[in-house]
Chain A
Amino acid sequence: MSSTVIATDELKPKAKAEEVNYLNVEHTISSWLLTGDHKRIALLYLVSTTFFFLLGGMAAGMIRYELTSPAGVVLESDTYNKVFTSHGIIMVFTFLVVAIPAVFGNFLLPLMIGARDLAFPRLNLGSWYMYMTGGTLILAGMLFGGVDTGWTFYTPYSSMYSNTQVSLVIVGIFIAGFSTITTGINFVVTIHKMRAPGMTWFRLPLFVWAMYATSLMMILATPVVAITLLLVVFERTFKLPIFSPELGGDPVLFQHLFWFYSHPAVYIMILPAFAVISELVANFSRKRIFGYHFVAFSSLAIAGLGFLVWGHHMFVSSQSMYESIVFSLISYLVAVPSAVKIFNWMATMYKGNVVMASPMIYAIAFLMIFTVGGLTGLVLGGAGTDIHLTATYFVVAHFHYVMVGGTMLAFLGGLHYWWPKMTGRLFNDRLAQINAVIVFIGFNLTFFPQFIVGWMGMPRRYHYYYFAPEFQAYHIMSTLGSTVLALGFIWPAFYLTMSLFNGKKAGPNPWGAHGLEWETSSPPPVTNFLETPIVMDEVYDFDPEAEHAENRRRIEAAEAAKSDERKGSMEDHQ
């Protein structure tokens, strides 16, 4: 090829690459650390939550390794307590509560409603700094000796007896909690006041509805746990005797206040997952979601009911039988809005043009796993059965089915789905599809044996089970599974990062999805939209027949491209 031809051919893509977007507008470190742009803050959160997830995952690995032998392998009892506490605290407070809202919520909320930014950009940046301060204090606590109370900090052990870094870690959680609160405030105000013209409440994507419900819970529940944990610190440092039984204080009161937050907190962790799954299912089924209003209001119903069920964590904590019955009944009610969502998603897929791209595989895996997790939740929500299963691996398995199989899979699904929007690059979807299957297999291999071994009586938080060596097979299965799962979590980091360097340009809407965020360029410009969008069409307004034709066209185009490529490579060889 002659030199002049190269010059003209390469000029065009170069000019395109220099299109100003939020990533290339400035390159200095301070332009990232002092940014008010919700998209940049979302990426800051993505990097930092991934870091904490890695740490929590390492603690999980140690737990699984320890449990491969009935007598324990390497850890002392004290160390083991600290390891599982680290795992719980890091995963709950610095990953699960934060991950989806702060990463995808931050990035997408303004894009989805057609706003230029969140209502309070500086507060948003402040929340990231609070999160990092809190996370750093938590890590400092782990480094300076760790905490052995479990992530629940039950009194009086945490307030009177534990000689570990409880205060430091709690202060960290307290500060990280304020980051959650400020994010919640920002989201609520943004959804109320920043919607583009024509974006009515019932044209909001379901992601936004679920984020709204999540934010409400963040706002109402987090302050309660903040003050409750602060009182534990006050008791440790100033001898403020709120929960100390020897002065007439009530240690069980701590559990009430703690679960008043922490039960809504598990919905703070799972509702954002629902948010992501609603988007994935509707967009990859190429259909308007079935029962839009029901799915939207089921999020609010879960948020409301979530505040009335905390007592089901306390069936064996000196709570009266009548309380237990009431809490048990209300807990069963939560199953209704959750089931509404599951059934509506399945009805959406029915007769849709389902595209089995990697995000959709994650979504389907989510549906299967979450259904198991949800139904076993009913087993635990029933006061009678729970007494048999309290503090066994059955609880552990249920929790991980909901939190890992639910939130983590939705996180991965969302990450794959919005990666082209965030970075402007396409990744290798074939690898991602394989990875989704690996995660699904690894996950079930890890946690399904725990249901069985828990039912048989394996207590949680034990690092030995010499009293029942027959559990070993299940534990080894679980540890093997966790290795597979770890592979499934690490691999995306490689192929997604690779896509930054050699991925194809994504274009505004690589998935053929519906929604405002897909109407702007990828990556979006600093102000999200060059002109304020005016919303004319309904949400998920797919035309099934056109979609079908489009589908066929795309398949044909892909085949044509493949044969072209083959020709091209043959020519190269020649």
Chain B
Amino acid sequence: MSAITDSMDHGHGHGHEPGLHHQYEDMVQQTESYIVGMWVFLTTEVMFFGALFFIYTLYRWNYQRDFYIAHEHLNVLMGAGNTTVLLFSSFTMVMAVQSAQLKKRMHVMGYLVVTLMCAFTFLIVKYFEYASKIADHLYPGAGFATDAKLAFGEHAMEGGKLVANMNHVQLFYGLYFGMTGLHAVHIIAGILVIIALIRLWYNKANSVIHDYVPTEMVGLYWHFVDLVWIFLFPLFYLMPKPH
């Protein structure tokens, strides 16, 4: 089929530009289609996470005190470290896109590899964070409340009495694992996409070396994933004390 398609393309007098797909008239149309498509896709992602942020807002509004107590067990240092790592990876991603525009192939690959390393660092830190929560039995399920009392110790006690409603604390950790977990899934997807992109650059594929837009698309996705974390970090780690 492609042979016929190609011959028909020749009849149109185009299809010679490397990296141009058969359905497009010219490079401008292809580039613009990619960009619109990516932004529309990101819109769906915003709606996807949006529902979770909505749920979070609702429950935090309802259970401010319990959420505050629950959040004190999160490790702000690790969270802040991960935020820095992701911000830095966004920077290297920008540099990769810039290098793609300038067609500096080695630079692109270098910056992408650094981005990739940042992504892995994020996941490793995440692993230790999750492990400590799981060790403290701070994951939803039967037996959450009794073990959590031990984990929280004095934070949750006032005059020898437990003040936090452990059900709501469990709700908090449900949201924590759900939202950061879904974000981590997006990081993993990002890693796979970046690896694929590096391979294309390594193989000097027409689709990337003649057209910086695919690289920019991956960049857009990566920035989106970072941006989600930029919201998640203060919402979970940096709560003001409720009155």
- By a beta-carbon cutoff of 8 Å, the part of chain A in contact with chain B is 20, 25-26, 31, 35, 37, 115-121, 181, 184-186, 188-189, 192-194, 219-224, 226-228, 231, 234, 238-242, 246-250, 253, 257, 260, 525-527, 530-532
Contact = CB atoms under 8 A, between A and B. Distances in A.
Contact of A224 (B9, B47, B141): B47
Contacts of B8: 525-527, 530
A193 B33 contact: yes
Interface in B89-139: 139
A253 B58 contact: yes
B168 to A, nearest CB: 5
B32 interface: yes
A226 B165 CA distance: 30
B155 interface: no
Interface stretch (B22-30, B76-84, B199-207, B235-243): B22-30
A465 to B, nearest CB: 39
A253 B175 CA distance: 14
A241 B33 CA distance: 41
A192 B36 CA distance: 8
A46 B13 CA distance: 34
B18 interface: no
A219 B139 CA distance: 33
Interface in B143-186: 165, 167-168, 170-171, 174-175, 177-178, 182
Given A119-B33, A227-B48, A240-B140, A247 B23 contact: no
B25, B40, B41 pick with most chain A CB within 10 angstroms = B40
A94 B5 CA distance: 32
27 contacts: A25-B4, A35-B1, A116-B22, A120-B37, A181-B44, A185-B41, A185-B44, A186-B37, A189-B36, A189-B37, A192-B33, A193-B32, A193-B33, A194-B33, A219-B40, A224-B48, A224-B51, A226-B48, A238-B140, A239-B174, A240-B140, A240-B178, A248-B171, A260-B51, A526-B5, A527-B5, A531-B12
B227 interface: no
Interface string B29-54: 10011001100110111011111101
Contact of B55 (A184, A192, A194, A242): A242
Given A188-B40, A227-B51, A526-B5, A241 B140 contact: yes
Determine the main DSSP class of B at the interface with A: helix
A242 B51 CA distance: 12
B23 A194 contact: yes
A227 B1 contact: no
B102 to A, nearest CB: 26
Contacts of A530: 8, 11
B63 interface: yes
| Nearest 7 pairs of A and B residues by beta carbon | A223-B48, A117-B23, A247-B167, A223-B47, A239-B141, A240-B174, A189-B37
A447 to B, nearest CB: 34
Contacts of A224: 47-48, 50-51
B62 interface: yes
Contacts of B40: 184-185, 188-189, 219
Contacts of B4: 20, 25, 526
A532 B167 contact: no
Contacts of B165: 248
B37 A247 contact: no
B50 A247 contact: no
A246 B168 CA distance: 10
B174 A242 contact: yes
- Contact-size category for B: 35 or more
Nearest to B142: A239
Contact of B23 (A118, A185, A227, A525): A118
B199 to A, nearest CB: 17
Contacts of B25: 532
B184 to A, nearest CB: 14
Interface string B58-85: 1100110000000000000000000000
Contacts of A531: 11-12
A119 B44 contact: no
A37, A116, A526 pick with most chain B CB within 10 angstroms = A116
B43 to A, nearest CB: 6
Contact of A227 (B24, B32, B52, B174): B52
A467 to B, nearest CB: 40
A30 to B, nearest CB: 11
Contacts of A25: 1, 4
Contacts of A241: 140, 167, 170-171, 174
Contacts of A246: 167
Nearest to B41: A185
Contact of A119 (B23, B51, B170): B23
Given A116-B22, A194-B33, A526-B5, A223 B44 contact: yes
A440 to B, nearest CB: 38
Contacts of B37: 119-120, 185-186, 189
A228 B23 contact: no
Contacts of A525: 8
Contacts of B182: 227
Contacts of B174: 239-242
A53 B33 CA distance: 34
Contacts of A188: 36, 40
Nearest to A181: B44
A526 B41 CA distance: 28
Given A119-B37, A185-B37, A231-B178, A223 B45 contact: yes
A181 to B, nearest CB: 5
Nearest to B52: A227
A130 B83 CA distance: 34
A37 B22 CA distance: 11
B43 A219 contact: yes
A315 B185 CA distance: 37
Given A189-B33, A193-B33, A219-B44, 6 more contacts: A117-B23, A185-B44, A194-B24, A194-B29, A223-B45, A247-B170
A370 B18 CA distance: 51
A257 B56 CA distance: 13
Contacts of A26: 1
B168 A247 contact: yes
Nearest to A191: B36
A363 to B, nearest CB: 32
A185 B36 CA distance: 9
